[in-house]
Structure 1
Amino acid sequence: MENDVAIELEAMLEKAQPLFTTKSCCIYKVPHQIRQSSEDAYTPVLVSIGPLHHGNSRLVTMEGHEQFYCQHFIQRSEASLTDLVNCVQQLEPQIRACYSEKIDLTVDELVKVIFIDCCFVIELFLGGQWVINDVIPSKSWMITRVMQDLILLENQVRFFVFEKIYNLAFASRLNGGEFRSFMWVAVGRFSNHNKQGVLPPAGGSIAHFTDLLRYLYLPPSHRIPSKNPVPLVIGHSASELVEAGVKFTVNKPWHGIGILDLEFEHGILKIPHIVVHDSTEVLLRNIMTLELCHYPNDHYIADYVSFLTRLVNRDKDADVLIKAGIIRSTISGNDTSVAKLFKDVDKNFTMSNINANYLKICDDLKTYYKHPCHTKMATLRRDYFTTPCKTAASIAGIVLLLLTFVQTICSILQV
């Protein structure tokens, strides 16, 4: 006689699926523990792209704008609406497989969402001047907000979908050289993040816009992080290192040097210049979450943030890097917000492997600080030169001691 519970379990287990059902999965829901620390950093404010935030009542207003853009895109397209929709329909199984969450939309519903969203983004990227009486290009705050929504990990469509639609719509113009590839167009749209002048990658290696931004920040030569599960520990913050004689300076970019490249030699810690602004937290959080979910052994941005978090513990540590020209802060409010920003972003991110170069820098900084001469210098600065009053008193004491010594010598010589 069969057990009823066993029968129910068997039926249940037959429907079971792994968390990420295919290797194509690259668009993830942000883990709850990370999301709860800053809900707004992962949630679109103006526009929904893809199915994960589709239907959000806060974003309904923009749906009319998206459809308006889509209409003008179809009018300019060399391909018919039927051909364009057929293209998306053929890609639907691949599109659905890209998401970590089950998409509660029918095939037709998902095709409509993806088609309108992709047409909107392509038309927006091509300039917006094509769209008569459009409000987005005329409102700088709106285009800034839309572009920020496009970097959110949950607000993505696979890059190959954009390329398929774009290539079909503008086939002759692409062949004739009038239009560049969609990858070139996208890199141009995110040019403010491309400080290294990185050329667009080839071969479909970019998953989506969040992945593209990560690519723009990666070192030119992608070094493999250390495979040892060693914690990243500097031991001393920037202000403490300064007391021990460490100098901070800007590591000026040149060929082969990216913004993540740090160097420490001869007591000088070189860090490339960075600008911290109001949207920096959103950018870092989403790229780091992508690394956590998709690049567990290749997390360059997370390592970089982890290093800066340990270097900049307090407001006065941030001041050290600001005065050295390493950090320029345009955050609304005081520059001291920088220290809190890095702490908040790094919270709840735990990586098993750390960039070998950063580990070596940490070890070298600890060795430098522990050197007897540097330790004594740090003690002197901490105990006698921390404030203007202490500094003045210490100098006065040294001068008095020297005068007393000279007077004593003179007295001896006169005898």
Structure 2
Amino acid sequence: MENDVAIAVEAMLKNAQPLFTTESCCIYKVPSQIRQSNEDAYTPKIVSIGPLHHGNSRLVTMEGHKQVYCQHFIQRSEVSLTDLVSCVQQLEPQIRACYSEKIDLTVDELVKVIFIDCCFVIELFLGHVWMRNDAIHSKSWMGTRVAQDLILLENQIPFFVFEKIYNLAFASRLNGGKLRSFMWIAVIMFPYHNKQGVLPPAGGNIAHFTDLVRYLYLPPSHRIPSRNPVPLVIGQSASELVEAGVKFTVNKPWHGIGILDLEFEHGILKIPDIVVDDSTEVWLRNIVALEQCHYPRHHYIADYVNFLTRLVNRDKDADVLIKAGIIRSTISGNDTSVAKLFKDVDKNFTVFNVNANYLEICDDLKAYCKHPCHTKMATLRRDYFTTPWKTATSIAGIVLLFLTFVQTICSILQV
């Protein structure tokens, strides 16, 4: 006699579907253990892009703007509305496979959401490049908020969809060289993050805008050797390192140096400058979440945050980096907020390996601080040469001591 429970389980398993396929998936709901520390950092404030936040009542005001921008894009396009929609319809299975969550929209509903949002974003980007004074660009606060929403991990559409629509709509102008690629205008949209002045190569496998922003921060090699999962341990915070004789300075402020390029040599820790403002936590959190979900063995930004967390424990540690010009803080509150920001972003992600360059810096810092000569020299500088008055007094004392010594020797020789 067949077991009813076994029959039910068999029927259930036949209908089982994976949540997502590893090869295609690139857009994720942020894991709850990461999300819980700051829900707002992962939630769009003004505009939803893609299906994950579609229908959110807080974002409905923007839908009218999106539709107007979509109309403008269609009017600008070289092909018909039917051709543009057909392009998205053909891509629908690939688009759906890019999301980690099951999308509770029919094929037609998803095509409509993706089409409206893509046209809106492309028209928005073109307006930014051409500096048009439209409904969004005329209000700087709105343009800033929309740009921030566009880099949220949950607020994404696959990059290839934008490129397909854009290339279809402007085929003749692209071939004639009168219009730049979509990749180019997308990079121009995020100048705040492109300190290295890089442009991803054609076919560079950029998944979406969160991934693009991450790419803009990567070192030129895009490959940092990693070691086994040993924790980053400096042993001393920035203020303690200063007492041990370490100096802090901004690392080579020229083209090609990104925020990840840290160096330690001859007692000087060189760190590229970073602006810490009210948006910093948002983009750091979303890139770290992307690395956790999509780049579990290549978490460059997470390693960087982890290193800074070890350096900046308290307000006086933040003050060391601020005085050195490494951190340019404009966030409200005191410098303790800077320390809290990095600590909060550093929570609840799993590390498979560690940036070998940072591990080497940690080892070198520990070895430097153990050398008694460095600590004594730092104490001497701190106690006797911190101000012009102290320096002058110390030099006068040394000269006086030297003259006294010479006088004593002369007196002995005369006897």
TM-score (norm 1): 0.90
Q: Which moved more, 1:93-102 or 1:193-202?
A: 193-202
Give the C-alpha shift of residue 377 in structure 1: 5.7
Look up the match of 2:358. 358
CA distance in 1, matches of 2:210, 2:129: 25
Aligned: 1:259 with 2:220:
no
Describe how 1:367-382 pairs up with structure 2 within 5 A.
Answer: 367-376=367-376
Aligned length: 411
RMSD, aligned α-carbons:
3.1
- Indicate if the aligned counterparts of 1:129 and 1:137 stay in contact, CA closer than 8 A: no
Give the C-alpha shift of residue 175 in structure 1: 1.4
Q: 1:312 and 1:128, CA in 2 relative to 1: closer, same or farther beyond 3 A?
A: closer
Q: 1:360 and 1:130, CA in 2 relative to 1: closer, same or farther beyond 3 A?
A: closer
Cα distance per residue 1:101-160 (max 9 Å; x no partner): 000000000000000000000000001699998421111000000000000000000001
Look up the match of 1:148. 148
CA distance in 1, matches of 2:130, 2:55: 28
CA distance in 1, matches of 2:364, 2:189: 40
CA distance in 2, matches of 1:170, 1:79: 8
Aligned: 1:237 with 2:237:
yes
Q: Which moved more, 1:220-229 or 1:95-104?
A: 220-229
- Indicate if the aligned counterparts of 2:245 and 2:375 stay in contact, CA closer than 8 A: no
CA distance in 2, matches of 1:218, 1:129: 24
Unaligned runs of 5+ in 1: 387-393
Aligned: 1:4 with 2:36:
no
- Indicate if the aligned counterparts of 1:78 and 1:170 stay in contact, CA closer than 8 A: yes
SS of match in other structure, 1:83? helix
Look up the match of 1:136. 136
Give the C-alpha shift of residue 50 in structure 1: 0.3
- Indicate if the aligned counterparts of 1:128 and 1:134 stay in contact, CA closer than 8 A: no
Look up the match of 1:101. 101
Look up the match of 1:217. 217
CA distance in 2, matches of 1:134, 1:38: 33
Give the C-alpha shift of residue 96 in structure 1: 0.2
- Indicate if the aligned counterparts of 1:92 and 1:110 stay in contact, CA closer than 8 A: yes
Give the C-alpha shift of residue 201 in structure 1: 2.2
Cα distance per residue 1:173-219 (max 9 Å; x no partner): 11121111111110111122111110232114100000000010100
Look up the match of 1:66. 66
Describe how 1:330-369 pairs up with structure 2 within 5 A.
Answer: 330-369=330-369
Q: Which moved more, 1:351-360 or 1:198-207?
A: 198-207
Look up the match of 2:312. 312
CA distance in 2, matches of 1:129, 1:327: 30
SS of match in other structure, 1:126? helix
CA distance in 1, matches of 2:379, 2:7: 73
CA distance in 2, matches of 1:336, 1:412: 60
Q: Share of identical aligned residues, percent?
A: 88
Look up the match of 1:293. 293
SS of match in other structure, 1:127? helix
Give the C-alpha shift of residue 406 in structure 1: 11
Cα distance per residue 1:294-313 (max 9 Å; x no partner): 01111111111100110111
Give the C-alpha shift of residue 20 in structure 1: 2.8
Look up the match of 2:284. 284
Cα distance per residue 1:309-349 (max 9 Å; x no partner): 10111110000011011111111233442111111111112
Q: Which moved more, 1:111-120 or 1:374-383?
A: 374-383
CA distance in 2, matches of 1:148, 1:154: 12
Cα distance per residue 1:45-92 (max 9 Å; x no partner): 000000000010100110111011111111111111111111100000
Q: 1:58 and 1:414, CA in 2 relative to 1: closer, same or farther beyond 3 A?
A: farther
Describe how 1:22-61 pairs up with structure 2 within 5 A.
Answer: 22-61=22-61
Q: Which moved more, 1:246-255 or 1:298-307?
A: 246-255
CA distance in 2, matches of 1:314, 1:95: 45
